[in-house]
Structure 1
Amino acid sequence: MDSSQFPSEDDIETKETVIKNEEPKDKSDEVKEEVTDDSNDELEALQKQKDEFEDKYLRSQAEIQNMHARFDKEKQQLLKYDGQKLAKEILPVIDNIERALQVEVTNDNGEQLKKGIELTLSGLNNALKDSNVTEIAAEGETFDPNVHQAIQTVAADDEHPVDTVVSVLQKGYMLKDRVLRPSMVIVAN
């Protein structure tokens, strides 16, 4: 036999290397690649979902803080203007008492009654002052539509220039910085 018919050892090793390289990959390697790709996709999806939940959580926390701030502000407003309704209901009573005091009395009984009414009015005014209810200055002041309500106008003269309050028909009152009732006034025009 001729030795040329048989491959040499180098040829055998080369062919084995080529065969190894040409052999299809093990199926487990292909499955591993698919699992890795799927795992990466799932991981990205979970990361995105986590980010969305974290964003929603942070927004919810901010909203809760805003609600607390708004509730605190409303609570302060309620406390600041506490008693507003009662003060508004007392003002007509004070008006009536002041009108009653304008009546002239001629005997001792009338004088005593008038003194009692004056004491009652004084007590009501003190209670209003203690509750931060104050009378709005009007007569002789410049007309301010925020605190005065013009009921009538008269011609301006030397004593009362234009836009000056000539007289007060009904007193106005404020609770701190809020107008409870504007002063009803006559204004020079």
Structure 2
Amino acid sequence: MTEKTKDQSTVMSEEMEKEETKKNESVDADKEETQKEIIEQTDDEVNTLKQTIDELQNKLLRVHADFDNFRKRTRLEKEETAKYAAARLVEALLPAYDNLQRAVSSSKETQNFESLVQGIEMVYRQIEQVLNQEGLQPIEAVGQPFNPELHQAVMQVQTDEYESGVVVEELQKGYKFKDKVLRPSMVKVNA
């Protein structure tokens, strides 16, 4: 080959190498640009996720604080309710209490025991009415089959008047408050 051809061949070869290098540099630059974009996008996503986590943690703290406040408020309301639960009943009994005081005062002045008895009967009816309105009910005993949930047997007697296991006599009245037995009736039961 001639020197001119060699030079041309070398020049072409160098140009091709330069072009190849430019292409490689261009591809490398594109890759680098793409990687930068991916990194930036990932950084943005990470920052967004961090921000979301912070917001959720703050919400969680607020919800936890709200729940603690609710629990405290509920406990205080419950204590308040228990503290003044009997207030309505006491208020309803005050007129009967006043009448009892009047009956006692009146009987001291006049020494009239008949009016005292009438006053006490009136007070008894008032108290009974208030307690019934609140849900207190006497337990039926005499003539009823003995029920250990409602009656407390203190004696057994033998009589032909009632069947066996039936309450013959009530020694002390029993009471239920709504559905709960406050005090069972003390009774005599037929054997």
* Residue 43 (structure 2) aligns with: 38
2:108 aligned partner: none
CA distance in 2: counterparts of 1:43 and 1:152, whole angstroms: 79
CA deviation vs aligned residue, 1:34-88 (integer Å, no higher than 9, x gap): 4433333333444455556667777888x69x96xx78xx69x97xx7568759x
Extract unaligned runs of 5+ from structure 2: 98-111
What pairs with 1:1-150 in structure 2 (closer than 5 Å)? 1-7=3-9, 14-23=16-25, 24-25=28-29, 29=33, 31-48=36-53, 50=55, 82=86, 86=90, 110-148=113-151, 150=152
C-alpha change, 1:28 and 1:4, in structure 2 (3 Å) is closer
Q: Is the 8 A contact 1:167 1:187 kept in 2?
A: yes
Asked if the contact 2:157–2:188 (Cα under 8 Å) also holds between the matched residues in 1, the reply is no
Q: Does the Cα contact within 8 Å between 2:153 and 2:186 map onto a contact in 1?
A: yes
Report the residue type matching 1:147 in the other structure.
L
Cα gap change, 1:173 to 1:33, in 2 (>3 Å): same
Structure possessing the higher relative contact order (Cα contacts under 8 Å, 6 or more residues apart): 1
TM-score of the two chains, using structure 1 as the length reference: 0.54
Shift of the 167–13 alpha-carbon distance from structure 1 to 2, 3 Å rule, reads: farther
How many residues in Structure 1 have an aligned counterpart in Structure 2? 162
Q: Percent of pairs identical after alignment?
A: 24
Larger of the two Rg values belongs to structure: 2
TM-score by length of 2: 0.54
The question of whether the paired residues in 1 share the 8 Å contact of 2:89 and 2:134 is answered with no
Aligned-residue CA RMSD in angstroms? 4.7
User: Is the contact between residue 83 and residue 131 of structure 1 (CA under 8 Å) also seen in structure 2?
Assistant: no
How many Å apart are 1:154 and its aligned residue? 0.7
